[in-house]
């Protein structure tokens, strides 16, 4: 995560989302294997500082994953 | 428009296209 936070500011917006997406996906895949791609896609619409908070706090990430699953099921 | 393709799905190792419309 330290590598990510130090690399992120010098990356393009597209690259920033890509890097955050890779990290988020690997974490989300552990709890939601079938929906991980869509959940990650949804969460990437959130601003990067919030996404970094999710990577730093598993509890925060899981609460956002739960929200995303609820939205997906309602969709 | 149709929201049937929402949300964009992220695939590891594949460039994410979700920002194209921003």
**Are the CB atoms for A68 and A39 separated by under 8 Å?**
yes
Residues in chain A closer than 8 A to B15 (CB atoms) = 14, 18
pLDDT tens-place string over residues B1-22: 555 678 899 999 999 887 654 4
Closest CA to A15 of A7, A26, A6, A3: A7
* Minimal-distance CA residue of chain A relative to B14: A18
This model of the complex carries an ipTM of 0.86
The CA distance from B22 to B2, in Å, is: 17
Q: Can you give the pLDDT at residue A28? A: 98
Is B16's CB within 8 Å of A42's CB? no
Query: Which of A26, A44, A75 faces B16 most closely, judged by CB atoms?
Result: A44
Q: Can you give the pLDDT at residue B6? A: 84
Residues in chain B closer than 8 A to A72 (CB atoms) = 7
pLDDT tens-place string over residues A16-71: 999 999 999 999 999 999 999 999 999 999 999 999 999 999 999 999 999 999 99
Kindly report the backbone phi and psi dihedral angles of residue B9, in degrees, each rounded to the nearest multiple of 5, phi listed first. -95, 135
Radius of gyration of chain B (CA): 10
């Amino acid at each position: 995560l330290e590598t990510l936070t130090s690399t992120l500011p010098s990356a393009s917006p597209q690259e920033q989302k890509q890097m955050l997406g890779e990290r988020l996906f690997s974490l989300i895949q552990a709890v939601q294997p079938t929906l991980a791609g869509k959940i990650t896609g949804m969460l990437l619409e959130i601003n990067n500082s919030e996404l970094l908070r999710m990577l730093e706090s598993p509890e925060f990430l899981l609460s956002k994953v739960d929200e995303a699953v609820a939205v997906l099921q309602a969709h | 428009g149709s929201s049937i393709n929402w949300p964009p799905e992220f695939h590891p190792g594949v460039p994410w296209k979700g920002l194209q419309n921003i």
